[in-house]
Structure 1
Amino acid sequence: MADFDVSLRGYDRATVDALVRAVEAAGSDRARIEAAVKRIGPPVVVLRGYDRMQVDAWLARRQGVVADAPRLLIVLRGYRITETDALLATVNAALEGDDPFRRAAALRAIHEARLPVSFRGYDRGMVDSYLERAARDLGSGQVG
């Protein structure tokens, strides 16, 4: 079973738990995974729920969404890798699909993101420029 952090304004835990059970029961069959996601529906945001970026990143991996993120350099002081990967997974999943709600949520995640800086992390300039391009594409409705 997937393990997600609990945060303020996260996804409803009961809905995500049901989604995780259904997706894991589907194995690697993408058609069954998509059917489970449609049947359960998108999780609602509640006051205390599972971290939205973690859930979105997990679901994108299970759906086989291939991240098209640039090769990011790891530098001495850069954005923390874990949080950046979760944000990029959310953004890339939205760019890959045509769901306007997922695209809007990814655009909002970009604007609300406060990526922490750590001793070894992704080059901040590279991440910032990628996110600016992604935000433009998400806002204009383009893909890629």
Structure 2
Amino acid sequence: MQSNRDRRPLAFGVVLLALGLFLLLGRDSPSAARAALAGAALALGGGALLRWLKPMPARGPAIDAPLGHRFTGTRENPRADFEVAFATALRGYDKRQVDELVGLGQNALATDVPTQRRVVRTQLDTARAALPIALRGYDIAEVDAYLERLSAALGGEDPG
């Protein structure tokens, strides 16, 4: 397995570990300063080595996107007109709760079970009325318009 990673941090960590061991296991018994220096070298070398050995995340379109987890097309969506990326406002709806509602609605929209869609539509309409306002949340008008379209689609109505 070939790695394209830079090996300089690995070499630096190995050199620090060797220096720490040399200082600690020298001929004569180490003084307090020498023992402290050896401990610091061992700790820094071990940390550098562990950071280099930590697996790197796979790079792909979902990870390369700077927006993170905001339903920007990382999942295959059965209804492309329901993909969304809300703008952030100074005061808006709580992002976590909106993301949960949107995910719930999109998952129900992907199924062909009418009873599940009706149940999720009821949950969506109930939760939509009580969405909390938060600093740096999703734009209220965008979220309201989107959730209204999603609710209409779940009810079998024309979301236009």
TM-score, normalization by structure 1: 0.50
More strand by share: 1
Comparing both chains, which one has the higher relative contact order based on Cα–Cα distances under 8 Å and sequence gaps of 6 or more? Answer: 1
Structure whose CA Rg is larger: 2
TM-score, normalization by structure 2: 0.45
